[in-house]
Amino acid sequence: MAYLELTDIEKYYDDFHALKNINLAIEKEEFVVFVGPSGCGKTTLLRSISGLESISSGRIQLDGKDITFAHPSKRNVAMVFQNYALFPHLNVFDNIAFGLKLQPLSRDEVKKRVDRAARLLHLEQLLARKPKQLSGGQRQRVAIGRAIVKEPKLFLFDEPLSNLDAKLRVRMRVELLNLHYETRNTAVYVTHDQVEAMTMADRIVILNEGRIEQVGSPLELYEKPRNQFVAGFIGSPQMNMLPLTVESQKPAQLRCRSSAFGAITLPCEVDRPLEGKTVTLGVRPEHVHLSAAPSTVALPGVVNIIENLGSETFVHVELGENAMLVAKSKPGSAPDRNHRTQAGLEVEHLYLFGEDHESIPITPAPVAAVPSKSSRN
């Protein structure tokens, strides 16, 4: 049995179906991240685990114990909120120790736990300060310390870094990961930031409209998305998506047409008939070359926007009306704006999605080089 097990979870708010058939198993010491757009149900699911929200049906088990109907105080979980929730009149020591006052612990044991948390979070020199004397990152560490001293079976983080600036968020991500490596606690972390999810998680749970779309390691979700939503959500910049109509299907060849840039031939095998159907071609920016290289499908276009980010450059290529392709380029090698180019799509890294938005398995044609078949005719 998994350490945390969610079975057939449903949640309704009157007529609104917030959580739909949630089934998930989390192992001990895992760091699992719930990610998805606003309103997808990730915070509702986290609050349901904590007991702050009741579920409409289903079962929640933690370490072999059914906690579905247990009061939040009886679940042995600790939750860290987005807004810190510190007491302004208490110093750091008393804020961290506050949750221990309801437990039958000696003064020495309380001090021992607070000192350990302060050491882990680098707060030893700040224990006498009030929250107003702390930076945003220090306040968040105090909130995390308040959770640590409870020694819970499960940590729950509800977008704890969203109120911090970009530089501090990066630093706090590293600190949270170091803390997890040191304590080896089981943690569930909610964020809307897919970069945060990719850098922190052992496994990611992608939610959308109250459903789990896919569960897997960051690399698995990046390389093997189950559907178009996952493919578009994971990755920054996101995967390029090009709508196509399949005109003909032959062995190792799909002849397609785009309303924006005309005909394109995809040298690949698929496991189903697609002729006459609408599909979406996906390719990530790092698999788009600004030249017709071997083993690529070339699309003519015009350079529209160039994003220089220092260590990398992203080039936006206009293929036609309402059709744009983003290519990752080496710094200093990007062509000038309005330059006509050939965007080469790596055949080995193409994705195909059907009319139901599910991924279609494709096998690239076994050829060394693929000539351009694209035209505007």
Kindly state the DSSP code that residue 128 receives in the 8-state scheme: T
Topology of the domain covering 240-364: OB fold (Dihydrolipoamide Acetyltransferase, E2P) (2.40.50)
331 — pLDDT class (breaks 50, 70, 90): confident
pLDDT, position 366: 60
CB atoms inside a 10 Å sphere around CB 120: 17
Q: How many CB atoms are located within 10 Å of the residue 178 CB?
A: 12
Residues 4-233: name the CATH superfamily. Answer: P-loop containing nucleotide triphosphate hydrolases (3.40.50.300)
Residue from 326, 305, 316 nearest 240 by CA: 326
Residue that is written with structure tokens 């529209």 in the block: 304
Report the greatest alpha carbon distance in the chain.
Answer: 82
Angle at 331 between CA 326 and CA 333, to 5 degrees: 80
Residue 200 has a pLDDT of 95
Which DSSP symbol is given to 198? H
Amino acid at 286: E
- Separation CA 62–CA 69 (nearest Å): 12
User: Model confidence over 83-124: pLDDT tens digits?
Assistant: 888 999 999 999 999 989 888 899 999 999 999 999 999 999
- Report the chain's mean pLDDT, rounded to a whole number: 92
| Cβ atoms 81, 139 nearer than 8 A | no
Question: How far is CA 92 from its chain centroid?
Answer: 32
Q: 184 — phi, psi (to 5°)?
A: 55, 40
The answer to whether the peptide bond before residue 285 is cis (omega within 30 degrees of 0) is no
Q: What's the pLDDT tens digit per position in 162-187?
A: 888 888 888 889 989 998 998 899 99
b/e map 43-71, b = 16+ CB within 10 Å: bbbbbbbbbebebeebebbbeeeebbeee
Tokens 């392709």: give the residue. 325
Check residue 374 and give its pLDDT. Answer: 47
- What's the distance, CA 266 to chain centroid? 30
pLDDT of 322: 83
- Spans of all domains in the chain: 4-233, 240-364
Average pLDDT in the 61-80 region? 95
Task: Tell me which of 213 and 373 has the higher pLDDT.
Answer: 213
Q: Which residues pair with 263 in a beta bridge?
A: 257, 375
**What is the reported pTM?**
0.90
